[in-house]
Structure 1
Amino acid sequence: SHAILYGDPRPRYGVHAPVLCPNGVAIFARDVETSEQVWSAEVGYPGNAAYREFYRDVGWDLPLEYLKPHLHKDGTRRHLGLKYYRISGREIPTGDKQPYVPNWAHAKTAEDATDFVGKRIRQAHKLRETFEGHPPLVTAPYDAELYGHWWFEGPQFLDFLFRELHYKKDLIEPITPGDFLDARIPIQIQQPSASSWGANGYYKVWLNENNSWMYPYQHDAERRMTELANKFNEPTEIERRVLNQSARELLLAQSSDWAFQIYQGTTVQYSSNRFKAHIHRFNLLATALESGDINEELLTEIETRDNIFAEIDFRTYRSY
């Protein structure tokens, strides 16, 4: 939100209208109020006592002997996805949680969806009073993993939400950013401020004394990928496979999760190892390509290990 709020010039409608960058890119700022109602650990909907408790799992509750057929070979306890308890209350210890009652949770999702839509209608009416005819837009983006993972009932909430929006369609309209732009509503031109969703709204989370060592390796790989993509205009089939797998390894190395987790101090060794492994495999493939000495067995092993982005095309990295 602060990208627009602190942009130049100041936004006429705050975060409740997009702005257009000088290069033609439209920016939609997240509405803080709607974000808090869903994400906040204190007042957000997912924390209601009726909803399923994420951290109480049979993988930790049941006798180890009973669980062994469902665990990895090392027999270490883990989450199995079977969770029979509800949140019960914020101050209630995990071991004292009460049994989950699906009907209670189902009813609560309907109640929360109705509450959410009602608050959006009141918010829109209040904004409209000062917008002089300009339609207020409430942008409400959320991480997809919230719905169904952290918040088990999240998909039900969305179902009830869109039913309620349809029922109240004379008062409020759900719309995508693309459709809003297609409506040709005048948009203010603005240069937004530098920003991120990280702590304090800037970049320290991803660039600090603990993870800055990563970037020289990453930037070298980025430059090398572009050089290879430019060089191989008509690659053979095996060269094409190496180029595409190199692109996969680069993308995996670029994942912001590695730097984020190192900053957080969680799974530091794992994150460091993952980053190093992808950079190593990228350089291994790039060197093989440059030398013409491609080990197809090794290539197949790497393709099998890191098989994300099946339709990737290395030509995306060409600079022309």
Structure 2
Amino acid sequence: MSIGYLALVLHAHLPYVRHPESDFVLEEEWLFEAITETYVPLLSVFEGLKRDGIDFKITMSMTPPLVSMLRDPLLQERYDAHLAKLEELAEMEVERNTHNGHLRYLAEHYANEFNHVRQVWERYDHDLAIAFKQFQDSNNLEIITCGATHGYLPLMKMYPEAVWGQIEVACQHYEETFGRPPYGIWLPECAYYEGLERMLADAGLRYFLTDGHGILYARPRPQFGTYAPIFTETGVAAFGRDHESSQQVWSSQVGYPGAPEYREFYRDLGWDAEYDYIKPYIMPNGQRKNVGIKYHKITGKGLGLSDKAWYDPYWAREKAAEHAGNFMFNRERQVEHLHHLMQRSPIIVSPYDAELFGHWWYEGPWFLDYLFRKSWYDQNTYDMTHLADYLQQNPHQQIARPSQSSWGYKGFHEYWLNETNTWIYPHLHKATERMITLAQREPVDELEWKALNQAARELLLAQSSDWAFIMRTGTMVPYAVRRTRSHLMRFTKLWEDINQGKIDAGWLDKVAAIDNIFPSINYRTYRPL
């Protein structure tokens, strides 16, 4: 008989990147890589578990930008072409390495993998959001929502209408996609501020996730720390991240992904192959890029990329099985210890970015597969659960007020408000004030209605926390700056045109075709609460 719970939570999110105005934009490949390396492998794991009678349970956010991109016909078409080039390159690699046994073995591995991705992609008619929905319908997967565009909510709290816009639009979009309202929400960047739970309750949400210190510093101090959720005064539950199990997986320094047997992310055929050979598979302007075929393993800490040894999927899979067994063993001991201290069943909440599994840590989906199977067959100390099931089975919890927090650097808001990105916030605040004013209007005709709704879209897209995050990390900064500026400039033109009564219909049609997220949005969501 089990004496505790383990809840894995995956956060599946990408910023909204869609450029019909251009034939090629490198950032669209963020989605394509995630489909190939994370989302299809996760679906394959779920299918295999279901096929073998394993009643697995897992929670996963699917953010509105990600769902919108997964279901967009233009991006589906472009991914189809992207996958076709991967398949072609892998087959060429098989032929090219006929006389090199290990490289041919690796090339065949990739050719088989891309062929499998193709089969899954076509089996679900290119709609992976609905593919995941089937596992929610069977109660194996609990899909939760997020902010409409992953806006960083604590930095909007002076404008409750903006926070409400992020929440309400997300919930409406979720219901349109999955056929029922969402039960839970992954707060963008797990960022919480006191009072946010009132809006979550008004939106019908039952729980949210925060970092561990958001629970540990709650008032009054929770009796069971992060090993039980707390109920806020509104009735909305808050789950806190378990540091021990999280670090064991996500850390490349002390966690599993840094094992020498695992695939090296940073060495890729797109940079290793002779230029004339690889040119058709890199950027149209001739610049090299990662193509997703990687032949080397991590090998050891401190080695340069040129010193990496050949990768072997067989031994990497064996290591993933070993790590899954170790993770299970550690959770058993953790649950036993906590149960003895608490005199009740603890829940260990282990949240991760979904893209860790497959994209960054190539063997991550294998690890999950082994963990579910080992937990099902080889232990009875804990039950794996998703958060909705846990709350239904454990409806009585301590009432407390969580502490302001995030899961970013130093645990608060510094990563999204610093010298690299502080310049964006006066512009975002001004646009928010203007949107709240626009929301008071009643449109005089269909054109103004369309313009008002497009203004709401542009504000939401400008608010994405991804842009501030990228500016802080220092990678792809020009793109993040360009996106922030373009959405703010489009919003400003809409504001001016609406107030002057001179809406440029042709320009509006072009912008609406580019930034077409949330087709059912109603600008009135920004009216004062």
Fold conserved between structures, TM > 0.5: yes
Distance 1:250 1:275 in 2: 10
Match of 1:256 in 2: 465
Q: Structure 1 residues 314 and 149, CA, compared in 2 at 3 Å: closer, same or farther?
A: farther
Match of 2:364 in 1: 154
3-state SS in 2 of match to 1:290: helix
Amino acid at match of 2:248: Q
Amino acid at match of 1:164: K
User: Unaligned stretches of 5+ in structure 2?
Assistant: 1-211
Report the CA distance between 1:123 and its aligned residue: 0.6
Distance 2:326 2:519 in 1: 42
Q: Structure 1 residues 24 and 235, CA, compared in 2 at 3 Å: closer, same or farther?
A: farther
CA displacement, residues 193-249 of structure 1 (integer Å, 9 cap, x when unaligned): 2112222112122223442221121122223223323423x6754434333332222
Distance 1:167 1:311 in 2: 46
Report the CA distance between 1:293 and its aligned residue: 2.4
Match of 1:28 in 2: 239
> Which of 327, 352, 369 pairs up with 1:116?
327
Distance 1:159 1:308 in 2: 34
Q: Structure 1 residues 47 and 311, CA, compared in 2 at 3 Å: closer, same or farther?
A: farther
Amino acid at match of 1:163: R
What does 1:196-207 correspond to in 2, within 5 Å? 196-207=406-417
Q: Structure 1 residues 92 and 210, CA, compared in 2 at 3 Å: closer, same or farther?
A: closer
State whether structure 2 residue 357 is matched by structure 1 residue 137: no
Match of 2:271 in 1: 60
Match of 1:98 in 2: 309
Q: Structure 1 residues 54 and 310, CA, compared in 2 at 3 Å: closer, same or farther?
A: farther
Distance 2:503 2:334 in 1: 61
State whether structure 2 residue 424 is matched by structure 1 residue 214: yes
3-state SS in 2 of match to 1:142: strand
Report the CA distance between 1:55 and its aligned residue: 0.6
State whether structure 2 residue 387 is matched by structure 1 residue 177: yes
Match of 1:189 in 2: 399
What does 1:249-288 correspond to in 2, within 5 Å? 249-288=458-497
Question: Residue 335 of structure 2 contacts residue 381 of structure 2 at CA under 8 Å; is this kept in 1?
Answer: no
Report the CA distance between 1:313 and its aligned residue: 4.0
> Which of 278, 283, 296 pairs up with 1:72?
283
Match of 1:12 in 2: 223
Over the residues paired in the alignment, what is the CA RMSD in angstroms? 2.1
Q: Structure 1 residues 94 and 131, CA, compared in 2 at 3 Å: closer, same or farther?
A: same
Report the CA distance between 1:161 and its aligned residue: 1.8
State whether structure 2 residue 451 is matched by structure 1 residue 242: yes
Distance 1:156 1:226 in 2: 48
Distance 1:231 1:23 in 2: 32
CA displacement, residues 74-131 of structure 1 (integer Å, 9 cap, x when unaligned): 2111111111211122222111212221212222222222221221111100100111
Distance 2:311 2:509 in 1: 46
Question: Residue 336 of structure 2 contacts residue 381 of structure 2 at CA under 8 Å; is this kept in 1?
Answer: no
Amino acid at match of 2:462: A
User: Unaligned stretches of 5+ in structure 1?
Assistant: none
3-state SS in 2 of match to 1:141: strand
Distance 1:259 1:210 in 2: 8
Amino acid at match of 2:469: F
Q: Structure 1 residues 304 and 57, CA, compared in 2 at 3 Å: closer, same or farther?
A: farther
Match of 2:293 in 1: 82
3-state SS in 1 of match to 2:240: coil
Amino acid at match of 2:431: A
TM-score w.r.t. length of structure 1? 0.91
**How many percent identity over aligned positions?**
47
3-state SS in 2 of match to 1:139: strand
Report the CA distance between 1:311 and its aligned residue: 4.7
Q: Structure 1 residues 315 and 164, CA, compared in 2 at 3 Å: closer, same or farther?
A: farther
Match of 2:433 in 1: 223
Amino acid at match of 2:213: H
Distance 1:277 1:262 in 2: 15
Distance 2:320 2:397 in 1: 36
Report the CA distance between 1:310 and its aligned residue: 4.5
State whether structure 2 residue 318 is matched by structure 1 residue 107: yes
Q: Structure 1 residues 65 and 43, CA, compared in 2 at 3 Å: closer, same or farther?
A: same
Distance 1:313 1:55 in 2: 44
Match of 1:44 in 2: 255
Report the CA distance between 1:258 and its aligned residue: 2.1
Q: Which has more helix, going by share of residues?
A: 2
Return 308-317 or 158-167, whichever deviates more: 308-317
Report the CA distance between 1:263 and its aligned residue: 3.0
CA displacement, residues 283-318 of structure 1 (integer Å, 9 cap, x when unaligned): 122322333323232223223333334554434333
Distance 2:438 2:304 in 1: 56
TM-score w.r.t. length of structure 2? 0.57
Distance 1:237 1:228 in 2: 15
Report the CA distance between 1:155 and its aligned residue: 1.7
Distance 2:301 2:239 in 1: 33
Distance 2:299 2:310 in 1: 8
Q: Which has the larger radius of gyration?
A: 1
Amino acid at match of 1:176: H
Report the CA distance between 1:64 and its aligned residue: 1.5
State whether structure 2 residue 293 is matched by structure 1 residue 293: no
Q: Structure 1 residues 14 and 311, CA, compared in 2 at 3 Å: closer, same or farther?
A: same
Q: Which has more strand, going by share of residues?
A: 2
Amino acid at match of 2:436: T
What does 1:304-315 correspond to in 2, within 5 Å? 304-315=513-524
Distance 2:323 2:525 in 1: 44
Distance 1:92 1:210 in 2: 31
Q: Structure 1 residues 191 and 63, CA, compared in 2 at 3 Å: closer, same or farther?
A: same
Q: Structure 1 residues 235 and 106, CA, compared in 2 at 3 Å: closer, same or farther?
A: farther
Amino acid at match of 1:207: L
